[in-house]
Every structure is written in structure tokens, then in C-alpha cells.
Amino acid sequence: MSEGIVTLTSATFDETVNSSTTPILVDFWAEWCAPCKAIAPTLEAIAREQVGNFAIAKLNVDDYGDIAQRFGVMSIPTLLVFDQGELKKTLVGALGKGRLLEELKEFLPSSR
């Protein structure tokens, strides 16, 4: 996993999401998912560029399907954005960096 990206498990999901002092995007992914691999460099770049403003985390649906099921994740990659522990936005698919930043704009410091 890239620097700045947290790997979540069933045991750490709630604590990590609920205690985050910044909005947190959780990437629901799997090793076999080509679109998941395609979006990974974009998420790594955002994690580097937004340190202290926005957090990125990943959860492998093959290993932790209980969490995916809890949030109704039906296809991957699915990106869930939480702010102060509350689910605020759901994005599905491998979005390009520009589109993803546009979707996240409301959570970034300049627009808060």
C-alpha cells in the first residue's frame, strides 16, 4: 500500500472512519479488479497532495465482505466519502483524477 493510504479491516474500519479528523475516502477494491488497479495511482497522488486535508483508505472486499455488504457495495471500485464519521458521498467506477477531485471539492479545505 502507498504511503499516506491506510489499509482497513473489519476490526479497524469503524474506529478509523469515526476518529478521522479530516474527511476520509474509503476505496472498496479487490486484487483481481482491473479498474481498481487503474484508479490506485490517482488515489495515491491525492493522498500525497492532500496530506492533512483529506484521508484515503482502502478495504479489500474479498477479505472484508462484511463491511462491503454493510454499505451495499455491489460493484468495485466503489469510493465512499465519510465526514465526521457520516457517509456523505458514494462514487462508483474508476474516475480520472480531474473528475475525482471535482467530486471531492466540497470536502477540501478551500470549499469548507
Nearest to 24 by CA among 98, 79, 100: 79
d(CA 27, CA 11): 16
Lookup result for grid cell 499516506: 4
pLDDT at 4: 82
Cβ(55)–Cβ(104) below 8 Å: no
Lookup result for grid cell 479491516: 9
pLDDT at 3: 67
44 or 111: which leads in pLDDT: 44
Lookup result for grid cell 479498474: 35
pLDDT at 20: 94
pLDDT at 46: 93
Give the pLDDT confidence of 25-83 residue by residue, as tens digits.
999 999 999 999 999 999 999 999 998 899 999 999 999 999 999 999 999 999 999 99
Q: Which residues are catalytic?
A: 33, 36
Q: CB under 8 Å to 49, separation ≥6 — which residues?
A: none
> Quick one: CATH architecture of 5-107?
3-Layer(aba) Sandwich (3.40)
Give the residue-averaged pLDDT of 90-108: 94
Name the pLDDT band for 6 (thresholds 50, 70, 90).
very high
